[in-house]
Structure 1
C-alpha cells in the first residue's frame, strides 16, 4: 500500500505535466490557464451545492433514526472531489468531476460498503434514545430487544483471603471499613 501511494505521488504530477504540455500546445497558454481557473470555480460551486444537499439528507436520515452511512460516504467523495478540483491540473479535475456525479458516487459507496461488510470489520452501532425516549431499534414493548449497554469492568477484589475487605459479617469482628475519599470521617 505505501508503494502504491508513492507511485501515485510520482505518476500523477508527471501525467499532469504531460497534459499541460499537450493541451497548452493545442489551445495555447492563456486558454489553458483560463480553463484551470474555470474548472476550479465551477468545481467549488458544485462541491458546495452537493455538500449542502448531502448534509440535509444526512440530517433527515438521523431525524428518522437511521444511520446516514450512504451520506457519510457521499460526503467523503465530495470532500475528495473538492480537493481534486482545487488542485491545478486536467487529470485531477476530471477525477474530481467524476466524483461529483451522483450515480457514480452511489455505485462507489455501494462498492465500499460491500467490501467493508465482506471484510467483517464494518459494524454500525446506534446509541441514544429516539424522539419519544424509546431506543431507535424499538423498545421491549415494540418487539425490539431493548437498549444495549456496552461497558467495561475491572475486578477490584483483594487477592488476600484474610484481608478485612474480604471477610463476611460473621468473620470480621468489629472492624469497620475505612472511609472513602468522598465521605467525611466519623469520630467515635
Structure 2
C-alpha cells in the first residue's frame, strides 16, 4: 500500500509544487530552476560518485568491509536519479542524499532494521564433511571432437 501511495503521492506533490512555484515566479524562471538543479546535481553526483568509487577500490585493496561504501554509492546513485527527475520535491530529496551526514543517518536507520545472519569475506573455506558435494566432471566422457564453439583445426 505504501508503494502505491509513493507512486501517486509524489507526482501529485510535484504537480502542486510546480503550480505554486510557477504561479509565484512564472513559467520560464520555474523551468530554469528545474534545468539548473539538474545540471548542478549532475556535477555534484559525478564528483561524489567518483569519490565513492575511489573509497570502494581502497576498501578492496586494504581488505576492508565495503558495505558502507557500497551503501553510500547506492545513495549517491539514487540522488542522481532524483535530481534528473523534474520536480522540486525530488530535487530536495536528491540534494539531501548528497550530504554525507544524511546518508549516514539513513544507513544507521537501515542497519537498525536489518539483521544479518551470516557474512563471509575473503577466500572460501574448504567444504565440510556434511556439505553435499556433487562432482560433475567425474563421470564425464572425454570428447574426441571439438565443441561447436571452437574452430576446427
TM-score range, shorter chain: 0.7 to 0.9
Give the CA RMSD over aligned residues. 2.4
Aligned length: 139
State the 1:59 CA deviation.
Answer: 0.8
- Which runs of 5 or more residues in structure 1 are unaligned? 129-146, 157-178, 184-188
Aligned counterpart, 2:113: 115
Q: What is aligned with 1:181?
A: 141
Higher-RCO chain (CA-CA 8 Å, sequence separation at least 6): 2
Q: Deviations over 1:87-136 (max 9, x none)?
A: 0000000000011001111121122223213xx44x331133xxxxxxxx
Kindly report structure 1 stretches of 4+ aligned residues shifted beyond 6 Å.
Answer: none
Structure 2, unaligned runs of 5 or more:
144-153
Computing the radius of gyration over CA atoms, which structure comes out larger, 1 or 2?
1
Structure 1 Cα separation of the partners of residues 125 and 134 of structure 2: 22
TM-score when normalising by structure 2: 0.81
Question: Paired residue for 1:20, among 18, 21, 27?
Answer: 18
Query: Going by fraction, where is helix more abundant, 1 or 2?
Result: 2
How much does 1:32 deviate?
A: 0.2
Alpha-carbon distance change, 26 to 150 in structure 1, aligned in 2, over 3 angstroms:
farther
Deviations 1:31-54 (A, max 9, x none): 000000000000011110000000
